Amino acid sequence: MMRSLCRGLAVVVAVMAPVADAVAAGPDRSVAFTVFRDGLPIGHHRVSVRPDGDRTEVQVDIALDVSFAFLTLYTYRHRSTEIWQGDRLISLDSRTDDNGTAMQATVQATPDGLRGTGSAGPLRLPADAVPTSYWTSALVSGRPLFDSQDGHALDVTVRPEGGGWWAMEGEVRLKLSYSPQGVWSGMRFSLKGSDFEYLPRTGMQAGS
């Protein structure tokens, strides 16, 4: 399910007017969302963004549980660490448990682009590729994207919908929004007959 969730919950994208790069100096881009399935909360997606000079460390933590009565029907856990220098990804290390299916991706910047290994096999990605951790508005700026769960390059198109919302179509089908300052502010999609929505958590820090 969450293989679809970060693919279908988690883009090479169509050329469009660029928005502000999320790694540039500006507002705090740490975010925390409650994830809803058909109106009921099923877990969280938290992103902690810590600038340090021209480098930025990003920690992602996702935990989802779908239950019926007292039975847990589905679980998903994802953790990753990203290091950025300016607006370029320098490294990514992720581990995912999708209801018992393990996935991983390890990526490093090299003179020949991003290289590494993942559940999808050896990884050879463009130097300006962006992972689907969604926190950075570089996701909708016309740069190539890759799945942060297993590292494979994604084939999608992206188009603006107005009001800060963007629609992704193709291998990933979802809608996500960014504030005028480039801060991730929401996401929604449909999957297997259910509607999912990300709503910002209030009264807490992204890492809490």
List, for residues 3-42, the tens digit of each pLDDT value.
Answer: 444 444 433 222 223 333 434 445 799 999 999 999 999 9
Domain annotation covers residue 208: no
Domain annotation covers residue 121: yes
Structurally, how many domains does the chain consist of?
Answer: 1
Domain annotation covers residue 82: yes
Domain annotation covers residue 61: yes
Q: Alpha-carbon distance 99 to 203, whole Å?
A: 30
3-class SS of residue 188: strand
Domain annotation covers residue 22: yes
Domain annotation covers residue 14: yes
Does 203 have pLDDT greater than 70? no
172 vs 21, more confident? 172
R_g over Cα of the chain: 16
How far from the centroid of its chain's Cα atoms is residue 89's Cα? 13
Domain annotation covers residue 56: yes
Domain interval for residue 39: 2-195
65's tokens = 């549980």
Domain annotation covers residue 100: yes
